A and B are shown apart, each in its own frame.
Chain A
Amino acid sequence: MAEHVDLEKRRQAVYGWLLLSPAAILLTLFALYPSVATFWSSLFSRGTRRRPSEFVGIENYADLFADPTFWKVVGNNLVYAGVTIPMSIAIALAMALWANSRIPARGFVRTAYFTPTVLPMIAAANLWLFFYTPGLGVLDQIGSLFGLPSVNWLGQPETALWAVIIVTIWKEAGFFMIFYLAALQTIPEDLKEASDIEGASRWTYTRRIVLPLLMPTTLFIMVNALINSVKLIDHLFILTKGGPNDASKLILYYIWEMAFAFFDAPHAAAMTILVLVVLGIVAGIKFSYLDKRTHYQ
Chain B
Amino acid sequence: MTDPFVHMENVAKRWNSQLGVENISLSIPRGSFVALLGPSGCGKSTTLRLLSGLELPDEGQITIDGRNVTLAAPSERNLSMVFQSYALFPHLSVAENVVFGLKVRKVAAAERREKLKRALDITGLLGYEARRPGELSGGQRQRVALARAIVANQPLCLMDEPLSNLDAKLRASVRKDIKKLQVDLGITVVYVTHDQTEAMSMADMVVLMKDGRIQQTGAPEDLYYRPANTFVAEFVGAPPMALIDGRILPGFPGAATIGLRAENMRLADPGTGRLTCHVSECEFLGSETFIGLSHPAASGLTVSMPGLKHIPTGEEMEITFADEDLHFFDEGGLRLLQPTGVSA
Chain A residues at the B interface, C-beta cutoff of 8 Å: 188, 190-191, 193-201, 204, 208-209, 212-213, 215, 295, 297
Judging by beta carbons under 8 Å apart, are B75 and A197 in contact?
A: yes
From the candidates A195, A197, A200, A213, name the one contacting B90 in the complex (CB within 8 A).
A213
From the candidates A191, A199, A213, A297, name the one contacting B104 in the complex (CB within 8 A).
A199
Residues of A near B128 (CB, < 8 A) are none
Residues of A near B100 (CB, < 8 A) are 195, 198, 200, 208
6 A-B Cβ contacts within 8 A? Answer: A193-B54, A194-B81, A194-B83, A196-B74, A197-B81, A199-B105
Judging by beta carbons under 8 Å apart, are B87 and A295 in contact?
A: no
**Which residue on chain A has the smallest CB distance to residue B160?**
A190
Q: Which of B84-138 contact A (CB under 8 A)?
A: 85, 87, 89-91, 100-101, 104-105, 132, 134
Q: Beyond A197-B74, A198-B100, A204-B104, is A295–B91 a contact (Cβ under 8 Å)?
A: yes
CA of A213 to CA of B92, assembled, Å = 10
**Which residue on chain B has the smallest CB distance to residue A211?**
B91
**Which residue on chain B has the smallest CB distance to residue A187?**
B90
From the candidates A190, A193, A199, A209, name the one contacting B101 in the complex (CB within 8 A).
A199
- Report the minimum CB–CB distance from B130 to chain A (whole Å): 14
Judging by beta carbons under 8 Å apart, are B87 and A190 in contact?
A: yes
Judging by beta carbons under 8 Å apart, are B104 and A196 in contact?
A: no
Judging by beta carbons under 8 Å apart, are A212 and B91 in contact?
A: yes
Judging by beta carbons under 8 Å apart, are B87 and A199 in contact?
A: no
Q: How many interface residues does chain B have, given as a range?
A: 20 to 34
Judging by beta carbons under 8 Å apart, are B85 and A196 in contact?
A: no
Judging by beta carbons under 8 Å apart, are A209 and B89 in contact?
A: yes
Judging by beta carbons under 8 Å apart, are B89 and A196 in contact?
A: no
From the candidates A191, A193, A197, name the one contacting B89 in the complex (CB within 8 A).
A191
CA of A297 to CA of B81, assembled, Å = 23
B230 CB within 8 Å of chain A: no
B70 CB within 8 Å of chain A: no
Residues of A near B104 (CB, < 8 A) are 195, 198-201, 204
Judging by beta carbons under 8 Å apart, are B90 and A190 in contact?
A: no
Q: Beyond A199-B101, A199-B104, A199-B105, is A194–B75 a contact (Cβ under 8 Å)?
A: no
Q: Beyond A190-B85, A295-B132, is A196–B105 a contact (Cβ under 8 Å)?
A: no
**Which residue on chain A has the smallest CB distance to residue B105?**
A199
CA of A204 to CA of B101, assembled, Å = 11
Judging by beta carbons under 8 Å apart, are B87 and A198 in contact?
A: no
From the candidates B73, B90, B132, B134, name the one contacting A196 in the complex (CB within 8 A).
B73
**Which residue on chain B has the smallest CB distance to residue A192?**
B87
B257 CB within 8 Å of chain A: no
Q: Beyond A193-B54, A213-B91, A295-B132, is A198–B75 a contact (Cβ under 8 Å)?
A: yes
Judging by beta carbons under 8 Å apart, are A197 and B79 in contact?
A: yes
CA of A199 to CA of B73, assembled, Å = 8
- Report the minimum CB–CB distance from A294 to chain B (whole Å): 9
Residues of A near B134 (CB, < 8 A) are 297
CA of A295 to CA of B97, assembled, Å = 15
- Report the minimum CB–CB distance from B165 to chain A (whole Å): 13
From the candidates B80, B87, B91, B148, name the one contacting A193 in the complex (CB within 8 A).
B87
Residues of A near B148 (CB, < 8 A) are 194
**Which residue on chain A has the smallest CB distance to residue B145?**
A194
Task: Produce 1/0 per residue, B62-86, CB < 8 A to A.
Answer: 0000000000011110011101010
Judging by beta carbons under 8 Å apart, are B101 and A198 in contact?
A: yes
Residues of B near A199 (CB, < 8 A) are 73-76, 101, 104-105
B46 CB within 8 Å of chain A: no
Most B CB contacts (10 A, CB to CB) among A198, A199, A212 go to A198
- Report the minimum CB–CB distance from B13 to chain A (whole Å): 16
**Which residue on chain B has the smallest CB distance to residue A212?**
B91
B52 CB within 8 Å of chain A: yes
Residues of A near B83 (CB, < 8 A) are 190, 193-194
CA of A94 to CA of B85, assembled, Å = 28
Q: Give 6 closest A-B pairs by Cβ, nearest first.
A: A199-B75, A198-B101, A295-B91, A194-B87, A190-B87, A200-B104
Residues of B near A212 (CB, < 8 A) are 91
CA of A196 to CA of B73, assembled, Å = 8
CA of A34 to CA of B212, assembled, Å = 68
Known A-B contacts: A191-B89, A195-B100, A197-B101. Give 20 more (CB < 8 A): A188-B85, A190-B87, A194-B87, A194-B148, A196-B73, A196-B74, A197-B52, A198-B75, A198-B105, A198-B152, A199-B74, A199-B75, A199-B101, A199-B104, A200-B75, A200-B104, A208-B100, A212-B91, A215-B91, A297-B134
**Which residue on chain B has the smallest CB distance to residue A190?**
B87
Task: Produce 1/0 per residue, B283-294, CB < 8 A to A.
Answer: 000000000000
Q: Beyond A204-B104, A295-B132, is A196–B87 a contact (Cβ under 8 Å)?
A: no
Residues of B near A200 (CB, < 8 A) are 75, 100-101, 104
**Which residue on chain A has the smallest CB distance to residue B79?**
A197
Residues of B near A194 (CB, < 8 A) are 81, 83, 87, 89, 148
**Which residue on chain A has the smallest CB distance to residue B91?**
A295
Judging by beta carbons under 8 Å apart, are A196 and B91 in contact?
A: no
